[in-house]
Amino acid sequence: MEQIKTFLDESEIPRQWYNVMADLPTPMKPPLHPGTGQPIKPEDMAAIFPMNIIEQEASTQRWIDIPEEVLQKYLLWRPSPLYRARNFEKLLGCPVKIYYKNEGVSPAGSHKPNAAIPMAYYNKVAGTKRITTETGAGQWGSALSMACQMFGLPCRVYMVRISYDQKPYRRMMMNTWGAECLASPTNLTQVGRNVLAEHPDSPGSLGIAISEAIEDAVTTPNTKYALGSVLNHVLLYQSIIGLEAKKQMDKLGIYPDIVMGCCGGGSNFAGLALPYVADLFTGKKVKIVGAEPTSCPTMTKGPFAYDFGDLAKSTPLLPMYTLGHDYIPAPIHAGGLRYHGMAPIISHLVRESFIEPRAYDQMKTFEAGIKWARSEGFIPAPETNHVIAAVVDEAMRAKEEGKEKVILFNWSGHGLVDLSAYDAYLSGKLQAYELPDEEIEKALLAIKDFPKP
């Protein structure tokens, strides 16, 4: 019998997260205070995040212990299985072995609980009484709702309006886990009211929802905000994926030629890839590829610039690839990839050529996702379809070059709550969408006078 899955015992779960900040060969630009233009100080963020998380955000310590209480929750589904996609390989008929980390086995159905659980935990021990957040497609909101429930914290989620309407089941999951979920823009915040005054039918965006959640947190006592991607501490928590994958690949005695993931804010991709990027720094050869949508081509078309993480300009200025903080992406179905910026760590590594970015159109990604579902069975999230499209490309390239390749990628989540997107694709209602250059130029006017990294 051919082996499909590689497991780790519970006792083999990594006990520490990996922090790539300790190993970067060239230093990153610091986040800036928008008022002074000076590097941000920890106390500047104290209204939004608890101090223990702020310390991790700025940490350059290579290994950080995973608290026992967090490990205990991780064990509900971790270590996640490493799969070999033998059926997909046969379908493609290319000289590749394809391995993937199945992050769809978590209770919320994606990698997001890897970060939500430590965030809820650290807030709890810091004395936070209530948490607010935003969510795109609903995966982050549902993951944080579950995590807050586990640690006894009330949670309010501002959900991007277009997804709230397209994906009611995520809201139901949040409610089931005891959280409150509102369609953003709302009329409960100043930011929301401003957007609605100008665009009463606004589909919302992650940038707007983040602004609403931050405004709520800073104007309500004992309330903090949690961000599901982009920031250093989120990437740190997700490193559990790559650390497990390495142990599993070691068991098989295999090292990958190519490591891949899909990129919204960059957290699941970083989770798998950064422990391999660490190998790149020590001279090992491995190609690292991140896949994003052509409708929100942050890394492939945006400039590397200082920009806000949100529409209301409430975050520090982050050095990153960006399409401008007031860019509202087309309402494609991969809601989790509709973010104007990219994690500063991932942006830095793209700029330094350690990571290759690629962009895929939603028609191509659904075509790849359907191929996957019809061979491997599991139905991928629309976001995950982007990396599957990239895997197909790499497999075809290997065939053209007549070279055998081992591909490892992160299967970031299942699509069982996104079936309306598959329905739209299968009934011919989806179309290709590429962001025109003129629109990018227009969106970038918002940051033209910002400091340059």
Interface contacts to ligand PLP, rule CB under 6 A: 110, 112, 139-140, 229, 262-269, 336-337, 381, 383-384, 412-413
ω into 79 cis (within 30 of 0): yes
Q: CB of 190: closest distance to ligand PLP in angstroms?
A: 27
Q: CB of 93: closest distance to ligand PLP in angstroms?
A: 27
Q: CB of 124: closest distance to ligand PLP in angstroms?
A: 23
**Cβ distance to ligand PLP smaller for residue 31 or 336:** 336
Residue linked to tokens 């999230």: 381
Distances (CA, A) of 160 to 153, 178, 202, 213, 287: 22, 19, 10, 11, 34
**Cβ distance to ligand PLP smaller for residue 71 or 416:** 416
Q: CB of 379: closest distance to ligand PLP in angstroms?
A: 12
Q: CB of 400: closest distance to ligand PLP in angstroms?
A: 29
For residue 21 the two structure tokens come to: 């900040």
Name 81's Cβ contacts closer than 8 Å, sequence gap at least 6: 5, 6, 7, 101, 102, 105
Q: CB of 265: closest distance to ligand PLP in angstroms?
A: 4
**Cβ distance to ligand PLP smaller for residue 123 or 229:** 229
Q: CB of 104: closest distance to ligand PLP in angstroms?
A: 8
Angle at the Cα of 385 from the Cα atoms of 383 and 390, rounded to 5 degrees = 115
Q: How far apart are CA 223 and CA 232, in angstroms?
A: 21
Number of neighbours of residue 177 by Cβ within 10 angstroms: 20
Q: Where are the beta strands (DSSP E) in 167-237?
A: 180-184, 223-225
Torsion angle defined by CA atoms of residues 86, 89, 90 and 96, in that order, rounded to the nearest 10 degrees: -110
H or E stretch covering 159: strand 155-160
Name 194's Cβ contacts closer than 8 Å, sequence gap at least 6: none
3-class secondary-structure state, position 377: coil
